[in-house]
Chains A and B, each alone.
Chain A
Amino acid sequence: MKKIINSPENLVAEMCEGIAKAHPSLEFLPKYKIVKRKEINKNKVTLISGGGSGHEPAHAGFVGIGMLDAAVCGDVFASPSSVQVYNAIKATASDKGTLLIVKNYSGDCMNFDTAKEDAADDGLTVDSVYVNDDIAVKDSLYTIGRRGVAGTVFVHKIAGAAAEQGKSLAEVKAVAIKAISNVRSIGFALTSCTVPAKGTPTFEISGGDMEYGVGIHGEPGIARQPLETADKLAEKMTKALIADLKISSSAEIAVMVNGFGATPLQELYLFYNSVTKFLPTDIKVYKVFVGNYMTSIDMVGASLTFFKLDEELKKLLDEKSVTAAFK
């Protein structure tokens, strides 16, 4: 393992210090590993997200005007504790209440839910939404359901814009749920990531193979298969997303090509070009985002996200946001 670190134990804290120092409108609360806006506007709904670290710029990179008020940072790929989340709720409490945007994982759900209950006991108004955009995971009664991946960034954006407009907690929650039900993602990986504390790749993969349907933690995907061309992958993924989202003709969508951390931008743009070849001409692309938004440390690979838009979502997507990683 070669990493630019001092020691694996201090990685998350030192990274957060760096984020706060690089972006002076942010501050870092080291005790509970919270990156928050220095100024909390008590007259708007505050938004908190977070989860395990290793997904940078998620989530601290989305803290700022028009998006999140705080990001709670767990260890690499591990949910923050309920105590951390509870303290983030307290540190950002507003007169209009707080919405937690949680990626749908067992650990995150348990910790954010416990924090929500504890804060409610203190008389704070807190609600939550759960993002589950990854279509690689089968959604059935018998599982905890699909996991939250890159589509979460669109939920931050939409809920953040609505909150900044002064909407009520119920209204912000409603539009966040609308965003969640219209966003879907699918990803693939050519290599595993290496968790610094472990020091070796999470999964082994031979030179000619890839994992299709991977998540963002180095957990295996739904299938291992020989490496395919960008066009072949783009065709399969585009078709799967259109089918799952039931996108009809004349629909408008936002597209995100998200790198997993170690994929060159040239390949991400090439991949977007491939995607456009397989989008039906009657589907209009309203906005495109190509870059690293929800990474998996140093994994080589990418995910594709489609976000189906209506007039309300388009307006919110166009609102101003001033954050480190999303404009």
Chain B
Amino acid sequence: MSVLKQESIEKIVDTMTAVILKNEVYFCELDSAAGDGDFGMSLAKGFKELQKNKENLDRSDIGSYIRSCGDVIAENCGGASGPIWGGAFKAAGRYASGKASLTLTEFAEMLRSAAEGIQKRGGAKPGDKTLLDALFPTVEALEAAAKSGSDNIAAALKSGAEAAVKGAEATKSMIASRGRASYVGDRSLGFPDAGAQALGVIFTEIANADVI
């Protein structure tokens, strides 16, 4: 049975960092349609700092590694992104505490903890036009792959990425009720949620990267 070793988890975080830095301007543009246009910048600020502190992260196990990433992100991402993305990493880190590798089932459960961490901090639920509308479908796709007995992690990551992209697409027909896009009411219709769309891009690149 194949598992995700700590090395793979670190590669996933590195890929995520690279995608966020590469798409800083694009992610800001996504946020300009109904929000205030700073999402890409806020997010990149935290991950730039993560890249700078790469050598100082706690690597004693997967949980400590992800949690220490979360601390850097929470302190350095601007605006709402700090508590949301930092909180997600910290919740995932707590789940993976003491683990040296993750099965597909555990990886899915870890992402579920992250999603629930975001939900606890921000109070959003699925359908509110937030990044949760991409994250929960990804979690469900990974859980379904794990349940089917597959140990093909690369294939599961692909189906997770497709679910995120589809979830982000579906936010176009939702009216925002959280974050600054909620202030414009119906005018957020027709645009995807910036966070959900970004997750679609991030998971797609992770699935295409050679992380296993």
Chain B residue total in the interface (Cβ 8 A):
35
Q: Is the CB of B36 within 8 A of A74?
A: no
Q: Mark A67-86, 1 if CB is under 8 A from B, else 0.
A: 00000001111110111000
Q: Is the CB of B37 within 8 A of A198?
A: yes
Chain A residues within an 8 Å CB radius of B75: 81, 83
B interface, by DSSP: helix, strand, loop or mixed?
helix
Cα-based distance from A148 to B171 in the complex (angstroms): 26
Stretch from A91-99, A211-219, A253-261, A302-310 that touches the partner: A211-219
Cα-based distance from A197 to B184 in the complex (angstroms): 24
Q: Is the CB of B74 within 8 A of A215?
A: no
Chain B residues within an 8 Å CB radius of A143: 177-178, 182-183
Partner of A77, one of B36, B77, B122: B36
Q: Is the CB of B42 within 8 A of A202?
A: no
Q: Is the CB of B38 within 8 A of A78?
A: yes
Q: Is the CB of A142 within 8 A of B177?
A: yes
Chain B residues within an 8 Å CB radius of A142: 177
Stretch from B53-61, B78-86, B140-148 that touches the partner: B78-86
Cα-based distance from A75 to B38 in the complex (angstroms): 10
- A79 with B182, Cβ < 8 A, contacts A110-B122, A202-B37, A219-B36 known: no
Total number of residue pairs linking A and B with CB closer than 8 Å: 111
Most chain-A Cβ atoms within 10 A of its Cβ — which of B74, B76, B183?
B183
Q: Is the CB of B122 within 8 A of A195?
A: no
Q: Is the CB of B83 within 8 A of A82?
A: yes
Interface residue? B32 (CB, 8 A): yes
Interface residue? B153 (CB, 8 A): no
Q: Is the CB of B184 within 8 A of A220?
A: yes
Partner of A76, one of B38, B84, B179, B180: B38
Cα-based distance from A222 to B83 in the complex (angstroms): 28
Sample of 18 A–B contacts (CB below 8 Å): A75-B38, A75-B78, A76-B38, A77-B36, A78-B38, A79-B79, A79-B80, A81-B78, A107-B78, A144-B178, A147-B183, A195-B41, A198-B25, A198-B41, A202-B36, A215-B180, A217-B36, A219-B180
A: residues with CB less than 8 A from B are: 52, 74-79, 81-83, 105-107, 110-111, 114, 136-138, 142-144, 147, 195, 197-198, 202-203, 215, 217-222
B: residues with CB less than 8 A from A are: 25, 28, 32, 34-38, 41-42, 45, 74-84, 121-123, 177-185, 187
Query: Known contacts A77-B38, A107-B81; can you find 19 more A-B pairs with CB under 8 A?
Result: A52-B78, A77-B36, A78-B81, A79-B82, A81-B78, A105-B180, A107-B79, A110-B80, A110-B122, A114-B83, A114-B121, A138-B185, A143-B178, A144-B177, A198-B37, A215-B183, A219-B183, A219-B184, A220-B184
